């Protein structure tokens, strides 16, 4: 089956469709030795070159889309390789039959939490682009005097070195104690500029001493997924994610029975070390997600994507398959 060249290049993670149309128009792409033009269609058998470099087309005709949730620990970098030899998130990922994993954004080395990776480059680019309006939510521990005026300024927006930035919402954790030197908040924003959460707080003289991403769009970090572990999204969750950026459903490969068992074991027996979130046993004190969170009732599902429970302000909530951990002094 043939597809438009810019769509194939976008799926491979080489850019957005519109940006790749400009690349084609500039004469930088050749198909089977001939200069490509807008409207050119290709198949997996065609030889495609961009800027003189041949591209691997082995996975473009598969018509499959895979997405995984990875729980990044502190100390790992989000790049595919690191000149300093530090561990990367790609060291622990499952193999793919063809193509490669493409990270949806990055987390800096000192930040932990949820990372999405996909084999669909177009999906990755759409989810990362600020125009798509896909929000990210973080749990942050802060040191400093946090006043209502500071919170208001960060909601309204401040000027950073690379332009105007703001949190779309700031919600105190239910266990946050204003009398303590360390404070806990959930924050959300619509873009992923370099160290943006840290820089926003630092602009107000507040130190960020722990940072963890807990949500990307409609996908939450599973409460029982240990650091360094991953789970693969089902067809339903993958379609929900694609719908956020107006992309159609694409088949998700069926997992083998053994893969399903391995995934259930990773979730069912995972125990987090040094939990970041100061949790409470009483479910009525579950932390609130920012108002833009998408939550759904998962009580009847037993797949790996039973996301952690956090009621939204709209009143609906998702249900976690495991009870919360006991409170820890270390978490506070």
Is 108 annotated as catalytic? yes
| Residue 19 domain-assigned (yes or no) | yes
pLDDT at site 304: 34
| Residue 77 domain-assigned (yes or no) | yes
Confidence of residue 275 (pLDDT cuts 50, 70, 90): very low
User: What's the rounded Cα separation, in Å, for the pair 29 and 77?
Assistant: 32
Range of the domain at 208: 135-216
The alpha carbon of 320 is separated from its chain's Cα centroid by a whole number of angstroms, namely 19
pLDDT digit string, tens, across residues 127-161: 998 889 999 999 999 999 999 999 999 999 999 99
Say whether both 45 and 166 belong to one domain.
no
| Residue 292 domain-assigned (yes or no) | no
| Residue 297 domain-assigned (yes or no) | no
What is the number of structural domains in the chain?
Answer: 3
pLDDT digit string, tens, across residues 22-35: 999 999 999 999 99
| Residue 163 domain-assigned (yes or no) | yes
Contact 40, 5 (CB under 8 A): yes
User: What's the rounded Cα separation, in Å, for the pair 74 and 110?
Assistant: 5
Count CB atoms within 10 A of the CB of residue 170. 20
Radius of gyration of the chain (CA): 21
Say whether both 15 and 139 belong to one domain.
no
pLDDT at site 27: 94
pLDDT at site 277: 42
State the catalytic residue, choosing from 56, 91, 108, 162: 108
Contact 103, 97 (CB under 8 A): no
Say whether both 151 and 205 belong to one domain.
yes
Q: How far is CA 238 from CA 234, 307, 318, 320, in A?
A: 6, 14, 17, 19
**Least-confidence region, from 60-64, 143-147, 215-219:** 60-64
Say whether both 84 and 195 belong to one domain.
no
Please determine, for residue 300, whether its predicted confidence score (pLDDT) is greater than 90: no
Please determine, for residue 61, whether its predicted confidence score (pLDDT) is greater than 80: no
Any idea how long the chain is? 332
φ, ψ at 130 (rounded to 5°): -55, -30
Say whether both 45 and 78 belong to one domain.
no
pLDDT at site 281: 32
φ, ψ at 206 (rounded to 5°): -105, 130
């Amino acid at each position: 089956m043939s597809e438009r060249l810019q769509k194939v290049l976008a799926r491979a993670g080489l850019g957005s469709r519109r940006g790749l149309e400009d690349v084609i128009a500039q004469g930088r792409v050749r198909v089977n030795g001939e200069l490509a033009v807008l409207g050119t269609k290709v198949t997996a058998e065609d030889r495609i070159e961009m800027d003189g470099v041949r591209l691997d087309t082995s996975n473009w005709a598969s018509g499959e889309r895979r997405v995984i949730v990875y729980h990044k620990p502190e100390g790992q970098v989000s790049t595919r390789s690191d000149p300093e030899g530090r561990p990367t998130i790609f060291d622990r990922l499952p193999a793919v039959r063809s193509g490669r994993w493409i990270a949806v954004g990055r987390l800096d080395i000192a930040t932990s939490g949820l990372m999405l990776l996909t084999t669909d480059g177009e999906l990755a680019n759409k989810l990362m682009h600020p125009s798509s309006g896909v929000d990210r939510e973080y749990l942050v521990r802060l040191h400093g005097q946090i006043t209502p005026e500071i919170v208001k300024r960060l909601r309204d927006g401040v000027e950073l070195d690379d332009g105007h930035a703001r949190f779309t919402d700031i919600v105190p954790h239910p266990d946050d104690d204003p009398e303590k030197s360390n404070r806990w908040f959930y924050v959300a924003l619509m873009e992923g500029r370099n160290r943006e959460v840290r820089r926003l707080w630092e602009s107000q003289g507040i130190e960020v001493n722990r940072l963890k991403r807990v949500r990307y769009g409609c996908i939450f970090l599973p409460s029982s997924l240990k650091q360094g572990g991953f789970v693969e999204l089902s067809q339903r969750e993958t379609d929900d994610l694609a719908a956020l950026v107006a992309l159609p459903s694409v088949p998700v490969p069926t997992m083998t029975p053994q893969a399903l068992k391995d995934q259930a074991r990773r979730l069912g027996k995972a125990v987090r070390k040094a939990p970041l979130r100061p949790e409470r046993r009483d479910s009525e004190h579950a932390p609130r997600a920012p108002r833009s969170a998408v939550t759904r009732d998962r009580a009847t599902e037993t797949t790996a994507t039973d996301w952690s429970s956090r009621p939204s302000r709209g009143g609906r909530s998702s249900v976690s398959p495991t009870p919360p951990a006991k409170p820890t002094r270390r978490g506070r």
